[in-house]
Structure 1
Amino acid sequence: MRQVKYILGVVVILCVASAVGCDFLSTEAESGGKGDQGGQGGVGAGGSAQKGKEAPGLAEQVEAGDLPAVEQRLPEKPVVVEPVDEIGQYGGTWNSAILGTADVVWLWRTIAYEPLVRWDPGWTEPIPNVAESVEVAGGGREYTFKLREGMKWSDGEPFNADDIVFAYEDVLLNEDLTPDVPTAFLGGDEPAEIEKLDDYTVKFTFPGEPNGLFLEQLSYNGQITAWPRHYLEQFHEKYNPDVEQLAEEEGAADWIELFTAKAGLAGYVDPVHFQNEELPTLAAWEISQPLGERGRVVVVRNPYYWKVDPDGSQLPYIDSAVFDVIPENEAILQRTLEGSIDMHIRHINTFINKPVLAQNRDSGGYGFFDAQAANMNTMVIALNLTHEDPVKREIFNNKDFRIGLSYALDRQEMIDVVFQEQGEPYQAAPRPNSPFYDEELAKQYTEYSVKKANAALDRAGYTERDADGIRLGPDGEPISFTIEFATEFQPTWPDALELVQDYWEKVGVNVEIKPEDRTIFYERKEANQPDATVWTGDGGGKDVTIEARWYFPFSNESNYALPWAEWYYSRGESGEEPPEAAKRQMELYDELHATLDEDERARIMGEILDISKEEFYVIGTSLPPESYGVVKNNFHNVPEMYDAALYPQPGPTNPEQYFISGE
């Protein structure tokens, strides 16, 4: 059996797609965004009532005979996007920045969030996007998608059911290209089957267990709409008998390497999508200057984009976007302070940066917009419960040891000294505004008490100490381990970890701190090499049921027990069999995954969290404050939004309706 993997492309919230009662099941023309759900706070400017049905530059190309008329470029039923505040105007360049190739997720979120169905701006339900409508049948076993007739790729070639079938059968189900079937397309252990009903209709059928989360998962997964068959079949062995010769001519080892270099196997989240300027796209902007050339990515409007505003004018409003590659957060912050960044909600939007951003907003010509955080912890400390060293494994798996370390943290001092007095002591638990909030789970063992810490560590059996006061482990050696973290991710972590080091030394545990490049951090983590790691607390808002990494060994981001998670997503073919409590959580999650019933999902997730509370897998530090973003005063229709890994902000707020005034 092929391995399957739970990945971040799996998304779910409590609103459940069913065959009745959901707006996106309608076959009528719909809005791609809802102004009232998009939030408030966008700054106004007037749009031009005489802007026409397309951008002036495109109208000139039509007049010159270089481009078909706009009516011929749009599908029969384009998505109608309701602007947040007002009808916009054409023109301008959106200036932004990324840290480098590993930061292409920001490109996807801003200029290429075009899944089959998408999250509405209020993160309440999936709504039509590439698909005009969807019908759900069989309790989540069958999903029939009606595509948009007349829709085209950015090169003007038709987009239809053949592209979806190609993406699924020839890429995602091709073992050479995709060894691990994405969880979005699984029902139990079995992948979905796809059937082309006509040129604009496809049906996914789950022959095993139902997949009740399919629509929510597709709202985050951008793979199925990222691969144009007409362009990519030349690089695929199924369609080109001479593909190996072509691979040799292109300098690739084989057709697999060639296809990967041309297509990018992660879809719109893959750097290749922004490196191969020949790859057609469905996004609002297409590549003009690819990633890797002259330190920036430049995109220009897609003349065949398939969305319009309420006036029937083709989107996007903004002509182009420039993403400078700036490898340091501090440099991006400086560009923002100078007013050189138009809109941003990544890396720089920390609580440490907000005072200096506020002080310079007048000179920089920008303001703030609010973002509701889904992150539930500033810094989660994960001891490696599956450590290959049997002594460290025994120590880390001792729950009283973890409880003792938790009591030893003076969280309030960390908040006051390092976290700018923002937040409150908190474990790895859903946020107070989450439907899954559990005060006991959030607050257990967060009291600062050296007395209780020592009592718990004594209960763990480590009462003997060396001459320096460090407790001795079961092997008679001092208990000492290293915490690893990615240097560029959170600027507060080095200072916070120095405090952790001092707190734990006071109760007889020695800790070393090891900063490292994020790439190295991930390589070591995936090899199960670290003693302990720290990361942020993803999965604390509406995304609890999909981003469950901290609540049970769920994915390759469950840093405390990656081999247990691997056992789960490989269905026992690899990894390490986990303890009974974790296995019970995995069974429960499979039940959650199979149902469309909202109440049943909530009940099951509650049981998973109850077990998590009892097991106490990881140690949290503090609840982060709400988030924010920065936007220039002449950059409009930017609403409040969520700040969450699985709500790919700002994508669900329809960046194609942003506009720049005074251009």
Structure 2
Amino acid sequence: MKLWSAAGLSALAVASLFSAGALALDLKETSGLDALGYAGLPPVAERVPAEPLIVDLESRGRKLGVAGGTVNTLIGRARDVRLINVWGYARLVGYNEKLELVPDILKDVKVEEGRIFTLSLRKGHKWSDGAPFTAEDFRYFFEDVVSNPDLTPSGLPPFLLAGGKGPKFEVIDETTVRYTWEQANPLFLPELALSRPPFIYRPAHYLKQFHEKFGDAAAIAKGVEAQKVRGWAPLHNKMDDMYNAMNPDLPSLQPWVRRTADSDQRFVLVRNPFYHRVDPAGQQLPYVDKVIMTVADGKLIPAKTQAGEAELQARNLSFSDITVLKQGEEQHGYRTLLWPNSKGSEISLLPNLTVKDPVWRELLRDARFRHALSLGIDRDMINNVLFFGLGQPGNDTVLSMSPLFKDEYKTLWAEYDIEKANALLDEIGLSKRRGDGIRLLPDGRPLEIIVETNGESQTEIDALELVAETWKEIGVKLFSKPSQRDVIRDRGMAGELVMSVGTGFENGIPTGDMPPTDYVPARGDQLTWPTWGDYLETAGKGGEKPDWAPGARLSELYQGWFSAADSAAREKIWQEILQIHADETIHIGLVSEVPQPVVVKGLENVPEEAIYGWDPGAQFGIHRMDEFWLANAAK
């Protein structure tokens, strides 16, 4: 079956994900819906779309499942209930495991000239409350929510702008809408596939009651008083909660929905009886009836998982928990899978190239200094000591799973070479040392680098100690300074931060058609260049314009990505961005592809080998959690 891929932004049409024979599929009723509180539902043939998405199990090595049962998982805070909308990963278009964009909620997408997007819905698709899902839900979002200054005072978000201008929006018919920009908008479709998507549709039939244009004024006034908000707009925004799962009355298109708000410590998510995906045998997905998310102290979650309290758990588990988890497998009947993390690096040192101190600014922007710091790190030792040799030593860059990967991106300036590192530091002019061998800065201060950490990861702290050991051999002293995330960000923006430590690039497996936002000065929260990122993010109203040649070039390339004519041009831009990072060692990565423990108890169709990441991936989402099923449900 032909799939439309992310590389095909210029394609004229997207192939349907069902065949003509699928229309005659013998749909099967799901037993136990009454017990879930769904008495009086119409038959399944009236609940699923006329042309449902029939998932492909066989070619992906998966088995037909059995409906029923409950999956328990643990979360460290109440707001993590929103992960149900991440893991469910029902999107207009979404990534498959080959990193191809494919229609999901949509029946298909027609793209013309990279700027005209015609979206076709599935006839008969319904919200979780049984109301029709139609073009009106898209119109309501575009015209009455995101274009309404009371609800969206910031105006259209960046993904709805091309060349600074919004699209012409049209309703073609009940199941077809069109967005037309004056120039290409390559960000549009990838944005729809994010783990936290923009949801460019809304359940209009539900939300209109809170909108001043459609709702009853007296009822809105009562709602404002009951919710203790200042007016109709904040009331509407509070009820309009597509991502956070805090409003159980809000209809959804996700596989599991929250129906009650009776607890903030134990969340029960039940199957959506109007969900649009079915298996090849006609069984409506998801297979699992309930997902129960229980709040627990994050520090206790590894122990609770080891005690068998979760059927599916990765949240709040780390590499350091693997040994303990393995010890409990036989007694509690679970497996500990090891999925490589999709971040560019598990741990990365981030020099702040916009630090205000003039001595540090000049030094950190000197490629020879960053190269010396990188050459002065024994990554093999760090990998062996902290990760039992299971990671991949190298730079913070794209991983081997990415189609953009080149070996030099990973290896350039990443070998352990004390002699070369010392030679580079001498060449810069940092040849003077104090009595203990620590070099002196040009103004006489000791070359002591304070690396600020949020203190949440013991592994990061341990890694800094190992880096400090070998940096002594090149005359550099490292101090680790724990602080809070917000404080570190504020210090970065103020120019007081010299260097920080954290995880590497969030997306280590990009394709050329994914925006290179993480790899360029694009946001103010990027600790490598916060003021440059703020400058781009605010369109020049804040921050500083990049005044360092590689940084300025990265900004140019980012802008060029948006106006690139096709996928080949976008990939070429990506390659130059990655080459600049490799040549300049902007991030000093340590080890990548470190295994993430994923505990599975009694669940089938969970892949043995898979990636674990946020974007792209949505953690379990890209692996289609709605296809997981419980073996004991068949008994």
User: Is the partner of 1:131 in helix, strand or coil?
Assistant: coil
- Give 1:630's match in structure 2, choosing from 599, 602, 610: 599
Matched, 1:87 2:64: yes
Residue matched to 1:44 = none
Instruction: Please say if 1:510 is aligned against 2:481.
Output: no
- 1:543-581 C-alpha deviation (Å, 9 max, x unpaired): 576364563324455320122123234333432211343
- Give 1:168-187 correspondences, 5 Å limit: 168-178=142-152, 179=154, 181-187=156-162
For structure 2, which runs of at least 5 residues remain unmatched after alignment? none
Aligned partners of 2:312 and 2:598 also within 8 Å: yes
Within the candidate set 114, 139, 148, 2:122 is matched to 148
Q: Distance in 2 between matches of 1:238 and 1:575?
A: 39
- 1:152-186, Cα deviation, whole Å (9 max, x unpaired): 22222222112112223333344554427444323
Query: Are the aligned partners of 1:156 and 1:304 in contact in 2 as well (CA < 8 Å)?
Result: yes
Measured at CA, do residues 289 and 525 of structure 1 come closer, stay the same or move farther in structure 2, by a change above 3 Å? farther
User: Is 1:193 aligned to residue 168 of structure 2?
Assistant: yes
Residue by residue over 1:478-537, the C-alpha shift from the partner in whole angstroms, topping out at 9 and shown as x without a partner, is 34343222333x441111112223333443333322234556555655666533222222
Equivalent position amino acid for 1:429 in 2? T
Residues 347-403 of structure 1: per-residue CA shift (max 9 Å, x gap): 4252x3333333332222122446454323121100111123444323322322222
CA distance in 1, matches of 2:285, 2:18: 22
Task: Classify 1:643/1:544 alpha carbon distance in 2 versus 1 (closer, same or farther; 3 Å).
Answer: farther
* Residue type at the aligned position of 1:263: D
**Among candidates 98, 110, 117, match of residue 135 of structure 1:** 110
Indicate yes or no: 2:284 matched with 1:307: no
Aligned AA (2:31) = A
Output one character per residue of 1:404-426: Cα deviation in whole Å (capped at 9) or x when no partner.
22222222222222232233431
Secondary structure, counterpart of 1:652 in structure 2: helix
TM-score by length of 1: 0.84
After TM superposition, give the deviation of residue 227 of structure 1 in Å.
2.9
When structure 1 is superposed on structure 2, of 618-627 and 548-557 the one drifting more is: 548-557
Q: Give the direction of change, closer, same or farther, for the CA distance of 1:280–1:527 in structure 2 (3 Å limit).
A: farther
Judged with a 3 Å threshold, the aligned counterparts in structure 2 of structure 1 residues 327 and 261 are, in CA distance, closer, same or farther, namely farther
Per the alignment, residue 163 of structure 1 pairs with 137
Aligned to 1:593: 562
- Paired residue type of 2:462: D
CA deviations 1:75-100 (Å, max 9, x no partner) are 22222224453322221111112222
Q: Structure 1 residue 132: deviation in Å?
A: 1.3
2:324 is aligned with 1:324: no
State whether residues 208 and 214 of structure 2, in contact with CA within 8 Å, keep that contact through their aligned partners in structure 1: yes
Answer yes or no: is the 8 Å Cα contact 1:13–1:544 preserved in 2: no
| Residue 69 (1) aligns with residue 20 (2) | no
Say whether the 8 Å CA contact 1:483–1:512 is kept in structure 2: yes
Contact 2:351 2:364 in 1 (8 A): yes
Alignment of 1:486-497 (within 5 A): 486-488=454-456, 490-497=457-464
Cα separation, partners in 2 of 1:158 and 1:354, compared to 1, 3 Å: same
Q: C-alpha distance in 2, partners of 1:457/1:175?
A: 55
Can you list the C-alpha shifts for 1:405-459, whole angstroms capped at 9, x where unaligned? 2222222222222232233431122223433233333222223233332332233
Q: How far has the Cα of 1:623 moved from its partner?
A: 2.9
Q: What whole-Å deviation, never above 9, does each CA across 1:72-131 have from its counterpart, x for those lacking one?
A: 3222222222445332222111111222256456332223x22211222x2332222221
Whole-angstrom distance in 2 between the partners of 1:176 and 1:616 = 45
Q: Out of 11, 25, 33, which is 1:19 matched to? A: 11
Alpha-carbon distance in 1 for matches of 2:496, 2:485? 15
Q: TM-score, normalised by structure 2?
A: 0.87
- In structure 2, the partner of 1:45 is none
2:181 corresponds, among 183, 206, 212, to 206
2:610 paired with 1:618: no
1:393-404 correspondence runs (5 A): 393-404=361-372
Change in CA separation of 1:134 and 1:30 when aligned onto 2, cut-off 3 Å? farther
CA contact (8 A) 1:236 1:259 kept: yes
Number of aligned residue pairs: 616
Tell me the equivalent position of 1:532: 499
Correspondent of 1:108 among 85, 109, 125: 85
Structure 1 letter corresponding to 2:257? E
Specify whether residues 427 and 54 from structure 1 end up closer, same or farther in structure 2 by C-alpha distance, changes over 3 A only: same
Residue in 2 that maps onto 1:230? 205
Contact between 1:30 and 1:128, CA under 8 Å: does it hold in 2? no
Alpha carbons 1:371, 1:629 under 8 Å: kept: yes
**Structure 1 stretches of 5 or more lacking a match?**
1-11, 32-49
Q: Look up the match of 1:575.
A: 543
Cα contact 2:7–2:513 (8 A) shared by 1: no
Compare 174-183 and 296-305 and name the one that shifted more: 174-183
Secondary structure of the 1:56 match is coil
1:428–1:550 CA contact under 8 A, matched in 2 = no
Q: Which of 458, 462, 465 does residue 430 from structure 2 map onto?
A: 462
Q: Which residue of 2 aligns with 1:605?
A: 574
Q: Return the alpha-carbon distance in structure 1 between the equivalents of residues 213 and 584 of structure 2.
A: 49
| Matched residue, 1:9 | none
Does the aligned pair in 2 maintain the 1:308–1:315 contact within 8 Å? yes
Per the alignment, residue 40 of structure 1 pairs with: none
Query: RMSD of the alignment, in Å?
Result: 3.2
